[in-house]
Amino acid sequence: MKFTKMHALGNDFIIINNIKRNFFFEKKIIQKLSNRYLGIGFDQLLLVELSSNKNIDFHYRIFNADGNEVEQCGNGARCLALYLRIKKLILKNEICVSTKNRLLYLKLLNNNIISVNMGIPLFNPKEIPFITNSIKNTYKLFFQNKYIYFNVVSLGNPHCVIQVKDVSNTAVSLIGTFFENYKLFPKKINVGFMQYLNVNNIKIRVFERGVGETKSCGSGACAAAAIGIKKNILLNKVFVHLPGGKITVFWKGNNNKLYMEGSASYVYDGKIIL
């Protein structure tokens, strides 16, 4: 099997051309491939497929390192755009792709910077999904003798955002594991930890469901920025600083679409015997 290794600010992927639908991946195969000691090593596996809609350039599927298929991946979308250009599968700069639950519009800019139209952020708990009796501005869960306050949002995949004083001194894995598997999140949850810097800048760390903490998370950056803008603590343009680098998020609020800009990087092509 031929594959391409790519990353977006340290969030790494393998991308496979499955246009001829030659490959079907069971969970255990993905888990083996994702292992950083015994396999290739990656956070997510991306499959490129043809779209049945003539107005959509490609369909792509996303699998986390644990083998579960998920709905969305912002960093993966940027890598996908660069992959399609490198492999000459498309020549235009503006690309429309479908995922499990929405359309994404990708635009190749200069210096391997890609803009992604992520759609409209969704805050209704049913759309996350998050089980609650009432819609609130902020929710809370009791963990280790104290309440943790959080917000929820979907960018095609579920996120909760916890505002903290200092992301470098936050128990990301401990709290992230608790939230990811909590019974009120029926499809599990990506957990973002946001540190406010000023009206245009935040730091975040993200614990991704089925993966653990990653160097970068595109949809997680969008989720944190959207929550901050909705709470009126951030302006419409936000620089999101992650361990792997910086993502820029633009959102005018309400029912406007949210845009993300960031880099993507090609690492190598390889092949492996399954």
The β-bridge partners of 59 are 49, 98
The yes-or-no answer on residue 217 being catalytic is yes
% helix, strand, coil for the chain, step of 5:
20, 40, 40
Phi/psi at 242 (5° precision): -115, 165
DSSP 201-245: EEEEEEEETTTEEES--HHHHHHHHHHHHHTTSS-SEEEEEETTE
Please tell me which residue in 79, 160, 217, 222 is annotated as part of the active site. Answer: 217
129, 122 contact by CB (below 8 A): no
The yes-or-no answer on residue 79 being catalytic is no
Interstrand relation of 245-250 and 237-242 (parallel, antiparallel or unpaired): antiparallel
Interstrand relation of 258-263 and 113-119 (parallel, antiparallel or unpaired): antiparallel
Beta strands in 18-122, from DSSP E residues, in sequence order: 44-49, 58-64, 69-70, 94-98, 103-108, 113-119
Please tell me which residue in 73, 79, 160, 222 is annotated as part of the active site. Answer: 73
Active site residues: 73, 217
